[in-house]
A and B are shown apart, each in its own frame.
Chain A
Amino acid sequence: MAHNAVGPAAIDLTVGPNPFFWPAAGVRDFYERMSAAPVARVVIGEWVCSKRLPFWQGEIPLAIDRLRQAGKDVALTTLALITLKRERRLTADLMDMGLPVEVNDLSALRLVPEGASFWVGPMVNVYNEGTLRWLAGRGARRICLPPELPLASVAVLAEAGRAEGVAVEVWGHGRVPLAISGRCYHARLHDRAKDSCQFVCGEDADGRDVDTLDGQRFLTVNGVQTLSQTTASALRWLGPLANAGVGSLRLSPHSGDFAAVCTEYAEALAGRRTAGEAEGTLRALLPGHRLSDGFLAGGAGAAWSG
């Protein structure tokens, strides 16, 4: 039941950049499906490791064309950790592609052309109104908040975003990016250094799971990135997030029928499914996944409110 006459603006869906290293054919198939999925926008590009990019770079322009023909907004992500000269040049090149850039390493901000607007991704530390306002002043138009923020902070930031004309997005679905490193843990698991990794991260379509010595499922290694092993889901929080004025949920790609995952969220947001029904369908779609929403609840991220 709506408790006021003017309800909050509807939440839409944003597909984040694929964190994993998939073969080019798999990438093509994925974005083909995304062009038909009920999502408003897609962020595309290499987010984790620049060494992977040459293997699937050729798919990016094709995917962009396909997605834009289907009416999706498309942005290009920067790497989450930019250290090498080559990576800085790659980042500078993104600025000339005629599409918005999603900044996931703050250093990219310096390369954004004067007066151009940009998006901010979940790997940039936007924890408070001061930082949000500073980014808005430099041209930020969308900000996906860090996944560890609790609902209370999300609400304050969504309000600040409204005042600044910045759409605020929240981590909605997928393994949570918890850390990024100079060291490649995938290579380390194969007794290799990063420079001689032989692209072993490509062997694991959803990253490589790391469990505790007591068999508790815990983390997932994805090259230089460490993810949660749980699939975070904001399904149980759609009402509070809408009331807070959040503009979009970010869905983070994984293998399996991701378009069907998008559909479940779209249906739940449209009120055509209850959160419980959508959760049931998600669990059936994703048999190996465990869900979490502890960050939104303000506790340990691994926890699930259900």
Chain B
Amino acid sequence: MVMELVCPAGTPAALRAAVEAGAHAVYCGFADETNARNFPGLNFSREEMAEGIAHAHVRGVKVLVAINTFPRAGDEAIWHRAVADASHAGADALILADPGLLAHAADRHPGQRLHLSVQAAAANPDAINLYAEAFGVRRVVLPRVLTVEEIAAINREIDVETEVFVFGGLCVMAEGRCSLSSYATGQSPNMNGVCSPASHVAYSGEAGETVARLGGFTIHRTPKGQPAPYPTLCKGCFTSGEQTGHIFEDPVSLDATRVIPALARAGVSALKIEGRQRSRAYVAEVVRNFRAAVEAVAAGRPLPEAALLGLTEGQAATTGAYAKTWR
């Protein structure tokens, strides 16, 4: 069976590009704080969502709507409305993280298929079975803290589908359980749908270096003339005692192309590509390569060369937690 390829769409144009390029499913969110990629200029209005879903459905492609931040106390109605609107627009599944919101969706929209967001960080069979039993969750997006062997073991103990990230940005912390960004800026993935937000980034030229700061904290200094990576907090260069370096993670992104066959053997149902903030050209190229890769794996053929070339834009890539040595 071909693994389902779940592709990002930050805009209606990217959704059409992903559909065109061979996505089996596209995930996207509303243009507000209800989703974990709440960046300026991204995401869908209610009308765009309905049009996007219609466009995809005509072409046999599913649309999964991410409503995966944690509703603010006192303002749950905003998230409840997002659930209702996505459901009425015909979303094939809602990707949720918050137990209260899952309970609401299961209660008020009983026919609606629910996926558990990576933001819920369900990292073992007990957690997954809990969400399955309590809310009828049908698929779980696994946090990026697990090895391939652990994923295989999890799949032996659960009845729901698993989806894993294979490409793009890489969280090194358990997702949905990280307040590093809000510690430095006051804005967090859980509460605001943003991490290391551009609104709190400042660059300055100092002594022949480009200094990138987040909320006033220096994240890295790059010699002038070299490309300065975006100051994502956990990919920063810091000092501890005698050591200076990328203490949490190098400025790398995830490329698990080579482990797709192992993930298939581990029982994974769907592969997810990160990057709702990416251009439609990028999305199209990545989706085409991964579609070829999952077709090859399903047919028992070797991975196509093109899929292995990588699209990490000159950045170093890692297979992350899928290899035990990463830890």
Residue count of chain B within 8 Å CB distance of chain A: 70
Q: Is the CB of A127 within 8 A of B126?
A: no
Besides A105-B123, A178-B183, A219-B180, 18 other CB < 8 A contacts?
A81-B123, A106-B120, A110-B129, A129-B76, A148-B188, A148-B190, A179-B173, A193-B327, A195-B327, A209-B241, A210-B240, A212-B217, A214-B211, A216-B217, A219-B183, A226-B180, A300-B183, A302-B183
Q: Is the CB of A107 within 8 A of B122?
A: yes
Task: Rank and list the top 4 A-B pairs by shortest CB-CB distance, nearest first.
Answer: A130-B100, A182-B145, A107-B127, A131-B100
Q: Which residues of B lie under 8 Å from residue A143 when comparing CB positions?
A: none
A64 interfacial contact with B, CB 8 Å? no
A47 interfacial contact with B, CB 8 Å? no
Q: Mark B315-327, 1 if CB is under 8 A from A, else 0.
A: 0000001001111
Q: Is the CB of A213 within 8 A of B247?
A: no
Once the chains are docked, how many angstroms separate the CA of A183 from the CA of B216? 27
- Chain B interface mostly helix, strand, loop or mixed? mixed
Once the chains are docked, how many angstroms separate the CA of A174 from the CA of B22? 50
A-B contact count (CB 8 A): 224
Q: Which residues of A lie under 8 Å from residue B248 when comparing CB positions?
A: 181, 183, 185, 226
Are A129 and B100 also in contact (CB < 8 A) when A153-B72, A221-B240, A300-B185 are? yes
Residue of A nearest to B244 (CB): A213
Q: Is the CB of A110 within 8 A of B238?
A: no
- Chain A interface mostly helix, strand, loop or mixed? mixed
* Interface-centre pick from B145, B174, B321 (highest chain A CB count, 10 A): B174
List the one stretch of A19-27, A31-39, A291-299 in contact with chain B.
A291-299
Q: Is the CB of A208 within 8 A of B241?
A: yes
Residue of B nearest to A215 (CB): B239
A235 interfacial contact with B, CB 8 Å? no
B8 interfacial contact with A, CB 8 Å? no
Once the chains are docked, how many angstroms separate the CA of A180 from the CA of B178? 7
What would be 30 A-B contacts, judged by CB atoms less than 8 Å apart? A83-B146, A87-B124, A106-B99, A107-B122, A110-B130, A125-B70, A127-B70, A127-B191, A128-B70, A128-B71, A128-B72, A129-B74, A130-B71, A130-B100, A131-B101, A134-B134, A148-B183, A178-B183, A180-B173, A180-B178, A182-B326, A183-B145, A193-B325, A208-B241, A213-B238, A213-B239, A216-B218, A219-B183, A295-B182, A301-B184
A76 interfacial contact with B, CB 8 Å? no
Once the chains are docked, how many angstroms separate the CA of A88 from the CA of B238? 34
Q: Is the CB of A212 within 8 A of B219?
A: yes
The interface size bin for chain A is: 35 or more
CB < 8 Å: which of A127, A156, A179, A211 contacts B174?
A179
Q: Is the CB of B240 within 8 A of A208?
A: yes
Residue of A nearest to B234 (CB): A179
B21 interfacial contact with A, CB 8 Å? no
